């Protein structure tokens, strides 16, 4: 990945070139972050497009209070939560949304059904409450520090550590009992 300072510098001197650098460096990790939260490839593609539209529109407002990647992850996470909340409003219950995500996981072309443990692991993650799932994904998959996750989710580090701990315990329990 290219240095974030170079991306910000390129955005300041030539927005199109800077945005291309930004896309080249962040499109894939942000896609997978979104995909892990919403499961469906089609939904992830739509949200990814919206994320980069928002980034392009608001790049001039980036205040450098955090790293560029933290800012981008925050936008992506907020878009995912907005999408999932819309689904909750359309569904009868949160359980319906989780069931829909599980069904999408099982229908996905990207899942290796021969690897039963990997499928069970993804099902365990999807069974987590939304907040724990977000924290778990950012920490486990994206390998972000708690401080960065705190800026992304606007949550205290201590609370994040507790959420991550509970998420790990629930995943272990799911893996052992299902």
* pLDDT tens-place string over residues 51-107: 999 998 888 788 778 888 999 999 999 999 999 888 776 655 666 666 777 677 666
Q: Is it the case that residue 110 has pLDDT exceeding 80? A: no
Where does the pLDDT of residue 7 fall: very low under 50, low under 70, confident under 90, or very high at 90 and above? confident
Give me the pLDDT at residue 34, please: 96
pLDDT of residue 8: 78
Angle at 138 between CA 97 and CA 159, to 5 degrees: 90
Task: Give mean pLDDT, residues 110-130.
Answer: 79
Residue 176 is predicted with a pLDDT of: 93
Percent of residues, the chain, with pLDDT higher than 70: 86
* Residue-wise DSSP of the chain: ---HHHHHHHHHH-HHHHHHHHHHHHHHHHHHHHHHHH--HHHHHHHHHHHHHHHHHHGGG---SS-HHHHHHHHHHHHHHHHHHHHHHHSSSHHHHHHHHHHHHHH-TT--TT-HHHHHHHHHHHTS-HHHHHHHHHHHTS---HHHHHHHHT--HHHHHHHHHHHHHHHHHHHHH-
**In the chain, what are the domains?**
4-177 (1.10.1740.10)
What confidence tier does 12 reach under pLDDT thresholds 50, 70, 90?
Answer: confident
For residues 125-148, average pLDDT: 95
Mean pLDDT of 30-56: 93
């Amino acid at each position: 990945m290219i240095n974030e300072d170079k991306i910000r510098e390129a955005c300041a001197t030539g927005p199109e070139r800077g945005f291309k650098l930004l896309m080249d460096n962040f499109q894939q990790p942000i896609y997978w972050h979104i995909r892990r939260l919403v499961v469906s490839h089609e939904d992830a593609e739509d949200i990814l497009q919206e994320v980069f539209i928002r980034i392009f529109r608001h790049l001039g407002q980036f205040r450098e209070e955090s790293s560029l990647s933290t800012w981008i992850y925050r936008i992506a996470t907020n878009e995912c939560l907005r999408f999932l909340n819309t689904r909750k409003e359309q569904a009868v219950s949160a359980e319906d949304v989780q069931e829909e995500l599980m069904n999408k996981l099982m229908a996905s072309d990207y899942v290796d059904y021969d690897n039963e443990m990997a499928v069970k692991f993804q099902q365990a993650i999807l069974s987590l409450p939304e907040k724990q799932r977000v924290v778990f994904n950012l920490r486990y998959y994206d390998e972000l520090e708690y401080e960065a996750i705190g800026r992304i989710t606007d949550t205290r580090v201590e609370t994040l550590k507790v959420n991550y701990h509970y998420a790990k315990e629930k995943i272990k329990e799911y893996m052992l009992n299902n």
